Structure 1
Amino acid sequence: MNGLVLVSPALAPQAGSQDISPVPWMITLPSIVAANYERQGKLTNESMVAVIDYTRGEYAVDLMKGNSDPAATPRLVKKVTELTGLDPTFVKQSGGRLETQAFLREEFRETGKLGSRYDPNVTAYDPFPYNPTQETQDPILLSIIAPTTTAMVDFVTRTVGWKTDAGYNALSFDVNRMWDNSGRNGAFSGSASATDLRVAVATDPKLRVVIAHGWADLSCPFMGSVLTVSQIPPMGDPTRVQVHEYPGGHMYYARPASSLALRKDVMEMVSKH
């Protein structure tokens, strides 16, 4: 069986405050809108089609126009405010270019909470709500470190039977600081992964790929994969590489319905061999 299932891959860069390219903003906007739609109970594949079309169409055009068209930014600010449900002043001050961490603080500011970049609809109280920058860890990471550490230590010492005095770090910031994100020849690692994927598809004409994302994942936004896959040239069956999205965030498969939907899509891919 020649098949790949890529779960929440980072195939493209994410938006940051210093980005001047329109692409990073295009990558994160749809996931922010998806989180808003889910809160309203109207997140569906059909409702997101219009969001994706707007993002790669009018939104991209207005971003690229920038100050060359005085009407471009006000136009996209109005539309982004409508799609996200965010405070109009915040969207205007952002120029319709929503930085992830700023959004996660702003969305729940009135409740004194923070959203998680892994799933914006998972929140926790912000212990420093008046600071100009976020001073605490991501709500999901902060809440899972203790239970995952306990579970892993129990598994290693009791189930595996390996006795050691060494500590176990569920999330090591020392290791994280040493992570090389430069990728191949200085390129962003996501770009290198996209290149490898394209070469693999070209090399093996029987290879099929399912790229799976959570709609509201801001850690590895689905739109990055959508834009990346759309640049892969036709190589036989155009459905060989598919991007599928499911309700939820980065760990969307923790939701039974999303997990079953993913299994259905993977089994469909397998059945074509």
Structure 2
Amino acid sequence: MKTLGAALAVASLSAGAFAQDAGKKDEIAGPEAGDPARFETSDTARVNGESISYDVVAGETFLLNDKDQPNASVFSFSYLKKNVADPSQRPVMFVFNGGPGSASLWLHMGVIGPKRVDVATDSPTDDGAPPYPVINNEYSLLDVADLVFIDPVGTGYSRPLEDGKGEDHWGVDEDAASVGRFIRRWLTENERWASPKYLAGESYGTTRAAALVSELNDRYNDVAFNGVILISAILDFEAARGALGYAGLMPTQAAIAWYHNRVDRSAWNNDFDAFIADARAFASDELVPALIKGQGLSADEEAAVVSEFASFTGVSEDYADRANLRVGVGRYMKELLRDQGLTVGRYDGRYTGEEEDGVGETAEADPSGYAMDAAFTAAMNDYMTRQLGVKMDRDYTVLSYDVNMKWKSVDGGGSGGPGYTNVVPGLARGMRENKDMRVMLASGYYDQATPFYAAELSLQAPGVPMDRVVKTYYPAGHMMYLDLGSLEQLSEDMRAFVQGE
């Protein structure tokens, strides 16, 4: 089973999911620092109808300990537009993916960077075998901002050095401090403290982005951000469990059922938006109370909720009733199209796959995960070596299980993922203390890993300035940029956000 999923969303991580690596031990010390690797080149891209000449700097930045000795190396890719008269007016965007334990190649080669792997299609399609063309990315954001793609310690080519340890960087707070130090160093070395600044993260990268807002908005050494782009967001992990977790997930399952024509569309006059609005209302107004009441529901109340749940999600009333209305991701992947011998995707419910076991309770693998991971891995390595001239003596780590297994939550949750981490309060405080900072929430309707309604509920918490939250939605999944129409729309939405439109 391929494991792209863990690179993109941590919401379902568990110790069991990574048991094969549980016995690994972190290195006592990293290698000697030596000189930081640095590779420079130049290129031209056609972006949004504009020809842009730019410099590329790919290389290591050493993080120093309290003795001014290097204890970690962060590898990054910077794309800087040439001939900018006043850099203080030119925005810079810091970009990363999630995992935790993932490198930044997904956003780098999928939507934001000046080159992309040519896999976006009009309908769900497996990436197959190579070659995977790396082409000019007309949807890049290089026309409106300089771009810095960050691979946190333990991912990509980034690693601990000398007496540094991975665990010093592998946790919600530790990671924010580590990446925050890199951002401060980059701003200083590139003389960009006065530039407008943006963060863009995907999946756990949205958790990191919110944590960075808090980390960098403290101790009178502030880095004030103009905006934060949250792509496929997971912010409050406690809300991803229990009654709120099922409620946050259910509208996504409804969208998937609609896509596969497993609901009566005529009941909503074939109006998807009206259907989703009703699904949201049912989830919060009826499903949550029913889950909380449990056996306290009367027979009539239970029957009514079960019937409506089935009408939205496409599973039978009998199945919904026997599951006690708790149809989690794995169950839903297996059950929705069981009569056709198919499973639906976790990261994108439009994808389907066949499995050997047709009667199991949960899916063996994620059809939307194994459908694209080979293309991104091959394209990133090919692009670095042949186009950027990056020559390193070690492998580029796309996804590190070691990082993931040892990740610490803010409350010491350990290898089960970030536990009950909730980064919304820090993000909200950052917005309240910076009147100009805005947030863009970008969600795919068919993403069960980081469901759109769960993200909405998280940002509806007290203290969040809702008038500065922009919400955008796409008829795709977790990596909505794999859908060609959604790729184009996401690019337009992010560009408008950076331009303040």
TM over 0.5: yes
* Residues 30 and 51, structure 1, Cα contact 8 Å, conserved in 2: yes
Alignment partner, residue 30 of structure 1: 251
Name the CA shift for 1:175/1:186 in 2 (closer, same or farther; >3 Å). closer
- Flag the structure with higher strand content: 2
Letter in 1 for 2:347: Y
Q: How does 1:152-167 map to 2 (within 5 A)?
A: 152-163=380-391, 166-167=394-395
Letter in 2 for 1:70: S
1:176 matched to 2:404? The reply is: yes
Flag structure 2 segments of 5+ consecutive residues without an equivalent.
1-195, 197-225
Displacement of 1:193: 2.3
Letter in 2 for 1:185: D
Q: Deviations over 1:43-79 (max 9, x none)?
A: 6333211111111112222222221122343322111
Q: Secondary structure in 1 aligned to 2:326? A: coil
The answer to which of 203-212 and 85-94 deviates more is: 85-94
1:250 matched to 2:478? The reply is: yes
Alignment partner, residue 209 of structure 1: 439
Aligned mates of 1:162, 1:252 — CA distance in 2: 29
Q: Number of aligned residue pairs: give it.
A: 265
Note the aligned Cα RMSD (angstroms).
2.8
Q: Deviations over 1:241-269 (max 9, x none)?
A: 13322211101133233234334444554
Q: TM-score by structure 2 length? A: 0.48
Q: How does 1:85-164 map to 2 (within 5 A)?
A: 85-131=314-360, 133-134=362-363, 136-163=364-391
Aligned mates of 1:102, 1:15 — CA distance in 2: 19
- Flag the structure with higher helix content: 1
Q: Secondary structure in 2 aligned to 1:31? A: helix
Q: Secondary structure in 2 aligned to 1:26? A: helix
Displacement of 1:131: 4.6
Displacement of 1:3: 1.8
Letter in 2 for 1:12: D
Larger Rg: 2
1:57 matched to 2:281? The reply is: no
* Residues 34 and 43, structure 1, Cα contact 8 Å, conserved in 2: no
Alignment partner, residue 3 of structure 1: 227
Alignment partner, residue 185 of structure 1: 411
* Residues 411 and 419, structure 2, Cα contact 8 Å, conserved in 1: no
Q: Secondary structure in 1 aligned to 2:381? A: helix
Q: Deviations over 1:54-106 (max 9, x none)?
A: 11112222222221122343322111101111122221111112111011011
Q: Secondary structure in 2 aligned to 1:192? A: coil
* Residues 11 and 193, structure 1, Cα contact 8 Å, conserved in 2: yes
Q: Secondary structure in 1 aligned to 2:450? A: coil
Aligned mates of 1:239, 1:200 — CA distance in 2: 14
Q: Deviations over 1:6-41 (max 9, x none)?
A: 11111233898xx5x311111110100011122338
Displacement of 1:219: 0.8
Displacement of 1:179: 3.3
Letter in 1 for 2:227: G
* Residues 15 and 100, structure 1, Cα contact 8 Å, conserved in 2: no
* Residues 229 and 439, structure 2, Cα contact 8 Å, conserved in 1: yes
Q: Which has the higher contact order (CA 8 A, sep 6+)?
A: 1
Q: Secondary structure in 2 aligned to 1:245? A: strand
Aligned mates of 2:237, 2:324 — CA distance in 1: 20
Flag structure 1 segments of 5+ consecutive residues without an equivalent.
none
Name the CA shift for 1:132/1:190 in 2 (closer, same or farther; >3 Å). closer
Alignment partner, residue 195 of structure 1: 425
* Residues 248 and 255, structure 1, Cα contact 8 Å, conserved in 2: yes
Q: TM-score by structure 1 length? A: 0.84
Alignment partner, residue 176 of structure 2: none
Displacement of 1:158: 2.2
Letter in 2 for 1:223: Y
Name the CA shift for 1:175/1:185 in 2 (closer, same or farther; >3 Å). closer
* Residues 411 and 420, structure 2, Cα contact 8 Å, conserved in 1: no
Displacement of 1:151: 2.0
Displacement of 1:191: 4.0
Q: Secondary structure in 2 aligned to 1:6? A: strand
Aligned mates of 2:438, 2:407 — CA distance in 1: 30
Displacement of 1:150: 2.2
